[in-house]
Structure 1
Amino acid sequence: MARVRYGARTAAETAVARAAAARLPDIWSTGVVALWETDPDAVAAVLPPPLEPTGRPLVRVTISRVDLPGYPLGAGSVSVAAAHGAVEGWYPLVMPMTHERALIGGREVFGEPKKLGEVVVERDGLVVNARLARHGIAFVEVRGAVSGPLPPPAPAERTDFYFKFLPGVEGAGFDADPVLVHCVRGEKVRRLERLTGDVVLRESMYDPVADLPVRRLVEITLGEKTTDQRGRVAGRVSAEALLPYVHQRYDDPAQIHDGPPEGSV
């Protein structure tokens, strides 16, 4: 019988696939990172327990073009500073990706809040424009001009926090208790430049990052880096405590009833 590709793979084939995945070369990306201070109450409001705010209400946006061979990828994230006990890191609220391949792996393995979207990084001479867009709305745009080089930092690690769960088959709750994932990323930077510019947040009912306004812009940089990651389950979390935050992961039509805060533009 001819090979049926949906059939079970042999142990040898599985071993070859795992070995190939373990030998991936460094994959470099070019991206903009913007960091700002926002309202402390806004950061506290978006963090599901047991995550807590850190001593500084920071928001971090990354907008990158990833040089995958034959498969260029746009990847972005909007995260807030968070802590789990003594571990400080970042809690991503949304991670737009331009291809489904990158979206599925991150969501299923790590619980990353990835969604399909538009991710653009453009440079014309010294002028840089980067944006994240979904549903026709560029909900984050970073604009600026290169004002000078910066020394690349030493290789470093950072921790991202994710909640991994499966919605219940019967339409309520979860199929099992959700878990909190610590994803540790190792970063190497080979080029870094300072940008002078601004961050524009636009109203979007599906990606309401405008609720995290720029109170003080800390820095904007443009760099080339490569990243690896490894995750571990830090523990199970209360399903009851996490349920009110599940809408962060999905595009719920009911969000049309979630109006912007009073006094917002």
Structure 2
Amino acid sequence: MARVRYGARTEAEIAAARAAGARIPDIWSTGVVAVWESDPEAVAAVLPPPLVPTGRPLVRATVSRVELPGYPLGAGSVAVAAAHRGTEGWYPLVMPMTHERALTGGREVFGEPKKLGEVTVERDGTAVRAALVRHGIAFVEIRGEVSGPLPVPEPAGKTDFYFKFLPAVDGSGFDADPVLVHCLRHERFRTLERVTGEVVLRESRYDPVADLPVRTLVALTLGEKTSDQRGRVVERVAARDLLPYVHQRYDDPQQLLDGPPEGSA
């Protein structure tokens, strides 16, 4: 009988696939990063327990073009500064990606709040424009001019916080208590430039980052970097504590947006 490809793999095949996945070459991205100070009450309001605010109500938007083998990936993130048991980091609220394959590992393995979207980074001479777009709305747009080089930072680590969970089969709550994940990224830069410009936040019912207004723009840069990441589960989270925040992960729990396009048969 010919091999049935949906059948079970041998232990050797599983080990080979795992070994191949561990040999990932450096993947470089070109990205715009904006950090601003927002309203303390707004930043605190989006943090599920046990995350707590840090001493400064910062928001960070990242818009990148990732040079994946085969074809590039657009990758974005909007995150707020947060802390957990003495560790400071970032809690992403939304992470638009342009390809489905970028969603799978991030959501299923780490619990990242990834969604399909349009992500653009454009440079024309010194002019820079970056945007995160979903449902036809550029809910984050960064515009500016490159105003000079910055020292290339030393390699450093950055922690992101994620909540990994599965909605319950019966539609009520979770199948099991969610877990809080610390994801540590080691970042290396090869270029970094200062950008003088602005961050525009537009109203979107699906990605309401406009609720985190720009009060003071702290930093705006354009850089090339590579990173690796390693996650670990640090604790289980009570379902009752996370349930009020689950809507952050989804556009429309009632699936009203999933109908066919207008005019289709």
- Measured against the shorter chain, the TM-score band is over 0.9
Residue of structure 1 in register with 2:28 after alignment: 28
Structure 2 unaligned regions, length at least 5: 257-265
The Cα shift of 1:253 comes to 6.0
* Equivalent residue, structure 1, for 2:259: none
Shift of 1:7: 1.2
| Distance change in 2, residues 1:89/1:255 (3 Å) | farther
Q: 2:126 corresponds to which residue?
A: 126
Are 1:52 and 2:52 an aligned pair?
yes
Q: Aligned pairs, how many?
A: 256
Cα 1:221/1:176, change in 2 over 3 Å: same
Distance change in 2, residues 1:56/1:254 (3 Å): farther
Residue 185 of structure 1 contacts residue 229 of structure 1 at CA under 8 Å; is this kept in 2? yes
Task: Supply the RMSD in Å over aligned alpha carbons.
Answer: 1.2
Which runs of at least 4 in structure 1 moved beyond 4 Å after TM superposition? 253-256
Q: Give the CA deviation at 1:255.
A: 11
Between the aligned partners of 2:145 and 2:4, the Cα distance in structure 1 is 54
* Residue number in structure 2 paired with 1:263: none
Task: Work out whether 1:98 is the aligned partner of 2:103.
Answer: no
Q: CA deviation at 1:5?
A: 1.4
Taking the aligned partners of 1:50 and 1:255, their CA distance within structure 2 comes to: 30
Query: Which residue of the partner structure matches residue 73 of structure 2?
Result: 73
Partner AA of 2:160 in structure 1: D
Question: Which residue of structure 2 lines up, in the alignment, with residue 15 of structure 1?
Answer: 15
3-state SS of paired residue (2:251):
coil
Distance in 2 separating the partners of 1:187 and 1:195? 20
Q: Is the 8 A contact 1:129 1:143 kept in 2?
A: yes
Match of 1:202 in 2: 202
Give 1:71 deviation, angstroms: 2.3
Shift, 1:107, TM fit: 0.2
CA distance in 2, matches of 1:27, 1:160: 19
Once residues 168 and 22 of structure 2 are traced to their aligned partners in structure 1, the CA distance between those partners, rounded to angstroms, is 33
Cα pair 1:36 1:216 within 8 Å, conserved: yes
Alignment partner, residue 247 of structure 1: 247
Q: Secondary structure at the match of 2:35?
A: strand
Equivalent positions of 1:1-265 (< 5 A) are 1-252=1-252
1:166-211 deviation per Cα after TM superposition (whole angstroms, max 9, x unaligned)? 0000110000000000000000000000000000000000000000
Question: Is the contact made by 1:205 and 1:255 (CA closer than 8 Å) also made in structure 2?
Answer: no
Percent of residue pairs bearing the same amino acid type: 80
